[in-house]
A and B are shown apart, each in its own frame.
Chain A
């Protein structure tokens, strides 16, 4: 009996270690295959991704709520300690804003009159869907958010996602219960923008840091720190004039932009629907390819 078990052990142990080794190798090859497939068939991978995120979205939604509550309490305490100072600055702001309000009213009236004279065709009016951020994912290698809304009218791939402060990114994928937002700081993000004062066109390219860069400026364009950057509406993906950020530094390494919206303060965001088709109209691209 003892002999027998020793024999089986002697035979089975190397076989087992061999199968383990092969299984491990198989998994490594599978990981490589996944990367290759991801590069080749983006649509399929995206579907898979949204299915997985859909299934964990309720869990994320649940566990992100206590975190949000804790943050709220902390920020309330912080506000209480600074309330006197804040009141003072708000009073000053109010005076300044009242002045701007009169200026804006005057300009609005003037604008209306001029538009009437020119027979101006106004751009599309936005409707929006508000959603809660349930995951801030990525770390050092990718910058994206997950929202707790799924497929519904007004939420489509390519749409702009904003807060009150400005643009934060675009919808990269929509599932049944979750939506992925690619932030403007992500390595894959390219947004057509304008330098507001000079109307110079450029592309805002994310680079996985907190400071995306301006690229593809026309030769001879002048940019200086402090210039406001807004979306240009070129390519039809975004409407014109969504605030994006301020030029932070201009040097040999390029032009870096500081976004208006700090990534770490995002709790609720809005998905804007201007009824624009966008540069990412994949169904159309697919059907055109088929036609050819």
Chain B
């Protein structure tokens, strides 16, 4: 499980989980869930196009993810944003379908691009994926405070001289980067689960932003590592495990949060003296 080609998978999976959780945290915070679902599908078209004309898939993934993210944001400003997102999403999926149907290995390639492939990261892709991952992490760290401020209290961010449209642009670029590296491993459809589920689970458990980000990264790592191991052992598609484990993490965290709420609301007076003695 840890030998030869699987090393690529573990290294890429770890990076993917960290970046996806970081970007996902802001996607949840900004209510950009649908966008997070749409952009990876653009990457799918890119990978399909790259395999058609025979260039490195990372290049195709990157170009299409970026074009998709910027295109959606440009069109959204002039119309109903959710309808525009839906239309751009299906256009990119349709393009991916066209590229794949014109190339040779149709079904197998389609399946692994959409639902992930545990050996989807080849050695020639590992270096660009790792580089993109590091750039993504650095970008989120640099943008952390302004992005947080403009996501939570846009007015204050505005007053401090932060340009919301420029921040939005930076966020979109980082999201496109993140999807570029994730799609070959996790698949275009399930990338979204990896971004949103750990972040949403973490947010329902802790409220401090930094702690929530840390927890989101931890959860994403657990989900990704377990998914890789389970997919390797069972030979089932890795996307299934990512989707199922992500949903499980979310449901469990919701249940935990609800129980904590109830306990806090219930025997509150009894808890007070104990606190006083401590």
Q: Judge: A and B partners, yes or no.
A: no
Instruction: Give B contacts to A, CB under 8 Å.
Output: none
